[in-house]
Amino acid sequence: MNDTLSPKPHQETITIKRSHFYTILIVLAFGVGLAVGYAWGNNGATKTAAAQQPAPVQANAPSEPQRVENIPTDGYPSLGPADAPITIVEFSDFQCPYCRKFHQDTYQALLDAYPGKIRFVYRNLPLTSIHPEAFPAAVASLCAQDQNAFWPFYEKLFSGADLGRDIYIQYASQLGLDVPAFNACLTSNKHDNAIMDDSDYAVSIGVSSTPTFFVNGYPVVGAYPLEYFKQVIDQELAGTLQ
């Protein structure tokens, strides 16, 4: 990829707990950006962003980020046309502050910048060893999906830093969901395997931190600002992104 911005991304890297019986140690598979001029003003808005393309830091890693082909998207929460020229798959954690930062600073602006051209797909990667509410929040989001309310619930979860069972039920009530059914879903364990399968798949393709995005399979690791995502997408649309 040529002439792209690359501010230092914000991300969290950690061991993922697969179940109560064992843990999966995430290995570092993707690099992060080199030093950058990337600063925020007092209001948290991005002021500047300049540097070179992200370079992997893993020993003997390739010099260019490697695409991951055919990431499954069917059946996962998604927004946008099925035939959109750009598919962005996000692996994320509802308790990750950098995932929340991406949502608050970049997510909607990115969709607005490419109306009808982006299909955005969400997949769960709860970092359970440091985020005790990440897995329950993921469960709650899928319980909301059972009532066709994943995206409104997603917005609620990323609207603030507080998470917990009472908050999930409060959000369900505010969104007009069937609260008894939602509450029963929270304790049913019906979505546990799907979330753990998401985490396993993320590990299998080298994801080591949240948030991690794949733009038509091209990895973007960290909460980069809008300008960087736009350059990736513009080059992909132009057919010049390697």
User: What is the per-residue pLDDT for 64?
Assistant: 58
pLDDT tens-place values along the chain, 242 residues long = 444 344 445 666 554 444 433 333 333 333 333 233 333 333 333 333 333 333 332 333 334 578 999 999 999 999 999 999 999 999 999 999 999 999 999 999 999 999 999 999 999 999 999 999 999 999 999 999 999 999 999 999 998 879 999 999 999 999 999 999 999 999 999 999 999 999 999 999 999 899 999 999 999 999 999 999 999 999 999 999 97
In DSSP terms, which residues pair with 121 in a beta bridge? 78, 89
Name the pTM for this structure: 0.76
- Closest alpha carbon to 226 in 48, 81, 11: 48
Rounded Cα distance, 206 and 230, in Å: 24
